[in-house]
Structure 1
Amino acid sequence: MRGWTGISRGLILASLAGLVGCGDILVEPPAQTAAPPVAPPPAEPLVKAPSQASRDLARYYSGLQNSLLTQGLLRGDGGGPDTPFTDTQLARNFVQIALFNEYRDDSDFSRPQATVSKLRRWDQPIRMHVQFGDTVPLAQRDQDQASVSAYAARLSRLTGVPVTQTDRRPNFHVLFLGEDDRRAYADELRNLIPGISDATVRAFTDLPRNQLCVVIGSFKPGQSSYRTAIALIRAEHPNLMRSACIHEELAQGMGLANDSPAARPSIFNDDEEFALLTTHDELLLQMLYDPRFETGMPITAAAPIARQVATEIVTPGQS
């Protein structure tokens, strides 16, 4: 979760004209047939005007983005010479990010509470669907749809999990909702995740201002393989902050569910230094879907494998 603490009819006509006027022979022109009806173009989605509360949030987040950029934060360079990391650090960060939860399952997201977990990931293809609230401008929808499509393809390359964009039985929902859209989304959320706790629904609809975006994952009882994921991104965010939320929440929805203050260079760190997925984070995703891990593996079994995999993939040019 990203939070803040401190986006040729002519040819046919000519051939018919040449058949008329030869002696007394008349050629009956072909019977005129009615042109097939032309389907009207699809109507553009209706865009509703946002409320004053939503407009106030948009101004607040615009100011927040400017403030972070002024401080040298929200970097998009992926890390560089100033952010070296070793295989030991990568393995340790993997354990903290992939094998702990940032929030308890029944959390209202009001306070992070890291708890140990088993290794979670997707064992089925992802069918991703992007949905926009009624208050999201059309140009912004086009931009965000393109961003999600490109990033989902990147995640698929890194993890090996097939990701397709579809509205048929989707299992990964990416929601761009304004304040008004989100507050009216409780019933739809319950339809997407049957059995979701009331506390989680309230946390979603009443998301506090300092929570920029969030992802919710669901599993079959007693299992650690993702069944459904829902990423919520505030439509009021300016472009870079929406991109930052896309990068973090979709990556967390792949199974890197926790944050760590020690992870650097990383988006899985609430200090907001990096906005976009880094080289370090790409390695975490590759590690998560390494076949030597098993979905549901406990930390005691996964940690030694993490050290082995990290040692193999961190080359001298990366450390």
Structure 2
Amino acid sequence: MGRNFLRLCTATLSAAGAVTLTACTAPQPPASVVPPNRPGGLAKAVQPVVTPRSAQSSDLQDYYIRIQDDLLVQGLLRTDGGGPDTPFSPEDLVRNFENIAFFDEYTRGGGLRAGGASGGLNRWSQPVRISAEFGSSVPLDQRRRDQAAINEYASRLSRVTGHSITGVRSGGNFHVFVAGDDDNEQLLRRLNQLVPDISRVELGLFRHLPRSFYCMVVAVSSAQDPHNYSRAIALIRAEHPDLVRLSCIHEEIAQGLGLPNDSAAARPSIFNDDNEFALLTRHDELLLKLLYDPRLKQGMTADEARPIALAIAHELMGMEL
């Protein structure tokens, strides 16, 4: 959409979401010129099939719209990244890093039970290739917006971390599913294809995700190194309105890079269940810089990492120890 067609057609988006072509008149060739034959094998691109949403999915969509509206009225879901009202020190940053990077939000193997134990530092060694897949119920314009947002976010994360992170059309190792309630069986089939040894507990999370859970991510370590991620799968509910959906994309992909926990003390941050901030903040970028700094090693404990992280935090924030 929006690209010129034969340099005379422009595409505009109506309020109803339909594409309307304006000023669309193709130039006619002179009488003496014979247009070339269409090369063989060039078939028209097949548009993906979009299935209508069920009443249950539509009700869920209405519910999440009301949630977003209520949060916005309260001044939450900020997109400014923080400011003078949200100061933090290097010590604050390291404390938040320790709580977010070294603890899991949920107990491993325990389903949705909160309170994961402390562990070693986890992150990716190999390049991260983020591929997006969409459920059949997701409208095409929403797919285009979300794909663009994921690709743009991947580029930002690569710049922040210094690690190779890119959006790809296929063959990714970080799979982001944008799917609705109606796409459940489609999602489960893809999960079994991508991760044949996925546990029943993890599969059950995707199958019966409570309405209170907006989105989720599961990161899988390599068999050779439990602190080295080799694959991740994120689920973003397609029923969310645009801002909440984008918020989920920001949080789940960042968590899948190695920041799995939330902290009530983290501010300004998306790694806080208070919903004050919708999108990755400057504070969160510094957490990612810490995570992927080569001076911190995979498998380090919080005690081992603390003095190194503090020195790095002072460097990043330009303050003297």
Q: Common fold, TM-score beyond 0.5?
A: yes
Alpha-carbon deviation of 1:12?
10
Distance 2:160 2:167 in 1: 17
Residue 194 of structure 2 corresponds to residue 195 of structure 1 = no
CA gap 1:11/1:306 in 2 versus in 1, 3 angstroms: same
- Which structure has more relative contact order (CA 8 Å, sep 6+)? It is 1
Secondary structure, counterpart of 1:100 in structure 2: coil
Q: Given the alignment of the two structures, is residue 272 of structure 1 paired with residue 313 of structure 2, yes or no?
A: no
RMSD between aligned alpha carbons?
2.1
What's the offset of the Cα at 1:195?
2.2
1:177 aligns with 179
1:94 equivalent in alignment to 2:81: no
Match of 1:230 among 228, 233, 244: 233
Report the Cα distance in structure 1 between the residues aligned to 2:37 and 2:126, rounded to whole angstroms: 50
Residues 180 and 10 from structure 1, CA distance in 2 versus in 1: closer, same or farther, beyond 3 angstroms?
closer
* Other structure's SS at 1:174 match: strand
Instruction: State the TM-score, normalizing by the size of structure 2.
Output: 0.86
- Between the aligned partners of 1:33 and 1:126, the Cα distance in structure 2 is 44
Q: Of residues 222, 226, 243 in structure 1, which corresponds to 2:246?
A: 243
TM-score, normalised to structure 1, is 0.86
Percent of matched pairs sharing the same residue = 48
Change (3 A) 1:199 1:33: closer
Asked if structure 2 preserves the Cα contact closer than 8 Å seen for 1:183 and 1:206, the reply is no
5+ residue gaps in structure 1? 1-7, 17-31
Deviation at 1:191, TM superposition (A): 2.4
Please report how far the alpha carbon of residue 165 of structure 1 lies from its aligned counterpart in structure 2 after TM superposition.
2.5
Structure 2 segments unaligned to the other structure (5+ residues): 1-26
The whole-number CA distance in structure 2 between the counterparts of 1:169 and 1:143 is 21
Shift of 1:71: 0.7
Paired residue type of 2:130: M
- Cα distance, 1:236 vs. partner? 0.1
Distance 1:147 1:204 in 2: 23
CA distance in 2, matches of 1:213, 1:150: 20
What letter is aligned with 2:271?
F
Bigger shift: residues 174-183 or 279-288: 174-183
**CA displacement 1:257-285 (0-9 Å, x = unmatched):** 11001000100000101000111001000
> Which residue does the alignment assign to 1:113?
115
User: In the TM superposition, what is the alpha-carbon distance from 1:13 to its structure 2 partner?
Assistant: 3.7
Paired positions, count: 292
Deviation sequence 1:46-105 (CA, Å, 0-9, x none)? 000111111111000000000000111000010011110011110100011111111122
- d(CA) in 2 for partners of 1:266 and 1:43? 41
Shift of 1:189: 1.3
User: Is 1:285 aligned with 2:288?
Assistant: yes
Rg larger in structure = 1
Is 2:321 aligned against 1:298? no
Question: Displacement of 1:182 after TM fit?
Answer: 2.7
Separation of aligned partners in 2, 1:187 and 1:41: 28
- Distance in 1, Cα, partners of 2:124 & 2:230: 8
**Partner residue of 1:149?**
151
> Distance in 1 between the 2:90 and 2:303 partners?
19
